[in-house]
Structure 1
Amino acid sequence: MLLIQLRKRGFQQWIYPRKMLLLLCAIAFAASAHQLSAQADLENSAAGKTVIYGKVHDKKGEPLIGVSLQVEGTYDGTITEFDGSFQFSTEAQGSARLIVSMFGFQNVEQDIVLSGNDSLSFDISFGKETLNLEEVVVSDVRQVQTTDKARATQLNRVEALTTAVDGNVQSAFQTMAGVQPTALAGGLFIRGGAGRESQAFVDGMLVDDFNYSSPSNTAGSARFSANMFKGSFLSTGGFSAKYGQAISGALILETTDVPLKSSADIGLSPLFAEAGFEKVNQKKNFSYGATGKYQNLGIFLRLMPTSMQFTEYPLTYEGTANFKWRPKEGTQVKTFASYGDSRLGLFNQDLDEASVLEHTKLRNRNLFWQSTFSHDLSNRWSLSGGAGYGRRQTDVNQFASNDEMTPLGEIFEVDEANTLSQARVNLSHRKKGQTLDVGAEVQHRSDVIQAGGISGTLNDTYGAAYAEKAGVLFGRLQGRAGLRLENSQLLEETTLSPRVNLNYLLGRDEQIFAGWGSFNQRPDTRQLYQENGQLNFERAQHYTLGYNRSTNKRSFRAEMYWKEYDKLVLFDTDLESARYANTGNGFARGLDVFYRDKTLHKGTDFWLTYSFVDAERRYAHFPIAAQPNFVANHVGNIVVKHFFQKQMVNLGMTYTMASGRPYFNPNRPVEEFHSDKTPAFHNVNFNIAYLPKTKKAFTVIVLTLYNAFNFNQTLNYEYSPTNFDVRRGVGPLTERYVFLGFFANFGIDRTDDIINQQLN
Structure 2
Amino acid sequence: MKAQAHKIFFLIALLSFAIGYSQIKVSGKVTFKNKGIHEVNVTLKDTYDGATTDAQGNFSFETSEKGSHVLTFTHPKYEEINKTIIIDNQDISLGNIEIKEQVSEIDAIVVSAGSIEASDKKRASALLTPTDIYTIAGADAQVSSALNYLPGVQKVGGTEGVFIRGGTGTEAKIFMDGILINNYFSNSVAGIAGRDQFNTSIFKGNVFSSGGYSALYGQALSGALLLESVDLPDQTSYDVSVSPIFLGGGFQKLTNDNRHSYGVSLNYSDLNLMQKVFNYNTNFVDSPKGLNGNFNFRIKTKSGGFIKYYGMYTGNNMGVKSESLEPGSDFSLVRLKGKSTYHNLTFRQKFGKYLLNVGTSYAFNRSDLNFSTETNNVESERTRLLTDGNYINLKAVLERKINRISAIRGGFELNNADEKLNFEDVRKHYRDLISSAFVETDLGFSNALSAKIGVRAENSSYLGKNNFAPRFALAYRLAKNWTSSLAYGIFYQNPESKYINGPANLGFQKSEHYVLQVQRSSEGRSLRLEAFYKKYDQLIKTYNIIPGKDQQQQVQTALNNDGYGYAKGVEVFWRDNNKTFKNIDYWITYSYLDTKRDFLNYPVSMKPNFAAEHTLSVVVKRFIPEWKVGANLSYLYTKGRPYYDIASRWEDGKAVNYTRNEGQLKDYNSLNLSFNYLPNIGKKDAKVFPIFVLSVSNILGSKNVYGYNFSTDGSRSSAVLPPVNTFVFVGAFFIFGVDKTEDVINSNL
How would you bin the TM-score normalised by the shorter chain?
A: 0.7 to 0.9
Question: CA distance change for structure 1 residues 434 and 756 in 2, over 3 Å: closer, same or farther?
Answer: closer
Contact 1:486 1:496 in 2 (8 A): yes
Matched, 1:289 2:269: no
Displacement of 1:136 in angstroms is: 10
1:658-669 aligned within 5 A = 658-664=638-644
Post-superposition CA distance 1:193-228 (Å, at most 9, x none): 000000000000000121012111110111101011
Comparing 356-365 with 594-603, greater Cα deviation is found at 594-603
Question: CA distance change for structure 1 residues 137 and 657 in 2, over 3 Å: closer, same or farther?
Answer: closer
1:192-591 aligned within 5 A = 192-328=166-302, 330-351=304-325, 356-378=330-352, 380-404=353-377, 406-408=378-380, 410-432=381-403, 433-473=405-445, 476-528=448-500, 530-532=501-503, 534-571=505-542, 580-591=559-570
Matched, 1:739 2:722: no
Within 1, Cα distance between the matches of 2:691 and 2:207?
26
What secondary structure, in the 3-state scheme, does the structure 1 residue paired with 2:163 have? Answer: coil
Contact 1:665 1:676 in 2 (8 A): no
What secondary structure, in the 3-state scheme, does the structure 2 residue paired with 1:166 have? Answer: coil
> Which consecutive unaligned segments of at least 5 residues does structure 1 have?
1-54, 66-81, 85-102, 104-132
Contact 2:670 2:702 in 1 (8 A): yes
In structure 2, the partner of 1:115 is none
Within 2, Cα distance between the matches of 1:467 and 1:294?
43
Within 2, Cα distance between the matches of 1:352 and 1:251?
40
Post-superposition CA distance 1:349-374 (Å, at most 9, x none): 11356961100101111111111011
Post-superposition CA distance 1:343-398 (Å, at most 9, x none): 001110113569611001011111111110110101x2111111111110110011
What secondary structure, in the 3-state scheme, does the structure 2 residue paired with 1:139 have? Answer: strand
Within 2, Cα distance between the matches of 1:160 and 1:736?
20
Identity rate of aligned residues, in percent? Answer: 28
Contact 2:458 2:467 in 1 (8 A): yes
Contact 2:406 2:442 in 1 (8 A): yes
Displacement of 1:320 in angstroms is: 0.5
Within 2, Cα distance between the matches of 1:142 and 1:512?
24
Post-superposition CA distance 1:627-655 (Å, at most 9, x none): 11110000000111100112110001101
1:156 maps to which of 105, 119, 129: 129
Post-superposition CA distance 1:211-267 (Å, at most 9, x none): 012111110111101011001221000000000010101011000001121010110
Question: CA distance change for structure 1 residues 634 and 374 in 2, over 3 Å: closer, same or farther?
Answer: same
Matched, 1:683 2:655: no
Within 1, Cα distance between the matches of 2:660 and 2:480?
50
What secondary structure, in the 3-state scheme, does the structure 1 residue paired with 2:117 have? Answer: coil
Displacement of 1:138 in angstroms is: 4.5
In structure 2, the partner of 1:129 is none
Displacement of 1:728 in angstroms is: 2.7
Contact 1:358 1:400 in 2 (8 A): yes
Q: CA RMSD in A?
A: 3.1
In structure 1, the partner of 2:619 is 639
In structure 2, the partner of 1:28 is none
In structure 1, the partner of 2:596 is 616
Question: What amino acid is aligned across from residue 391 of structure 1 in structure 2?
Answer: F
Within 2, Cα distance between the matches of 1:702 and 1:646?
18
Contact 1:56 1:64 in 2 (8 A): no
- What TM-score results when the alignment is normalised by the length of structure 2? 0.79
Displacement of 1:338 in angstroms is: 1.0
Contact 1:141 1:555 in 2 (8 A): no
Question: What amino acid is aligned across from residue 372 of structure 2 in structure 1?
Answer: F
Comparing 666-675 with 288-297, greater Cα deviation is found at 666-675
Post-superposition CA distance 1:527-582 (Å, at most 9, x none): 12x13574211110001111011111111111111101111111269xxx995211
What secondary structure, in the 3-state scheme, does the structure 2 residue paired with 1:239 have? Answer: coil
Question: What amino acid is aligned across from residue 397 of structure 1 in structure 2?
Answer: N
Within 2, Cα distance between the matches of 1:615 and 1:548?
25
Within 2, Cα distance between the matches of 1:272 and 1:143?
33
Within 2, Cα distance between the matches of 1:451 and 1:354?
22
Post-superposition CA distance 1:134-176 (Å, at most 9, x none): 99965389999xxxx99xx842210111226222111110111
Comparing 390-399 with 295-304, greater Cα deviation is found at 295-304
Contact 2:108 2:447 in 1 (8 A): no
Contact 2:330 2:376 in 1 (8 A): yes
Contact 1:155 1:233 in 2 (8 A): no
Displacement of 1:427 in angstroms is: 0.3
1:82-231 aligned within 5 A = 138-139=116-117, 154-163=127-136, 165-231=139-205
Within 2, Cα distance between the matches of 1:426 and 1:256?
20
Within 1, Cα distance between the matches of 2:593 and 2:661?
16
Comparing 692-701 with 555-564, greater Cα deviation is found at 692-701
Comparing 156-165 with 638-647, greater Cα deviation is found at 156-165
Question: CA distance change for structure 1 residues 593 and 137 in 2, over 3 Å: closer, same or farther?
Answer: closer
In structure 2, the partner of 1:714 is 705
Question: CA distance change for structure 1 residues 666 and 455 in 2, over 3 Å: closer, same or farther?
Answer: closer
Contact 2:340 2:365 in 1 (8 A): yes
Relative contact order: is structure 1 or structure 2 higher (C-alpha 8 Å, sep ≥ 6)?
1
Within 2, Cα distance between the matches of 1:227 and 1:397?
34
Post-superposition CA distance 1:708-736 (Å, at most 9, x none): 00011012122344462x43322211111
What secondary structure, in the 3-state scheme, does the structure 1 residue paired with 2:131 have? Answer: helix
In structure 2, the partner of 1:118 is none
Displacement of 1:327 in angstroms is: 1.3
- What TM-score results when the alignment is normalised by the length of structure 1? 0.78
Contact 1:169 1:232 in 2 (8 A): no
Contact 1:555 1:597 in 2 (8 A): yes
Contact 1:626 1:673 in 2 (8 A): no
Contact 1:541 1:564 in 2 (8 A): yes
Aligned length: 626
In structure 2, the partner of 1:124 is none
What secondary structure, in the 3-state scheme, does the structure 2 residue paired with 1:257 have? Answer: coil
Within 2, Cα distance between the matches of 1:272 and 1:287?
26
Displacement of 1:477 in angstroms is: 1.8
Post-superposition CA distance 1:660-709 (Å, at most 9, x none): 10011579998877862111110000011100116111111000000000
Displacement of 1:318 in angstroms is: 1.0
Displacement of 1:416 in angstroms is: 0.6
Question: CA distance change for structure 1 residues 141 and 626 in 2, over 3 Å: closer, same or farther?
Answer: farther
In structure 2, the partner of 1:593 is 572
Displacement of 1:426 in angstroms is: 0.5
Contact 2:346 2:357 in 1 (8 A): yes
What secondary structure, in the 3-state scheme, does the structure 1 residue paired with 2:132 have? Answer: helix
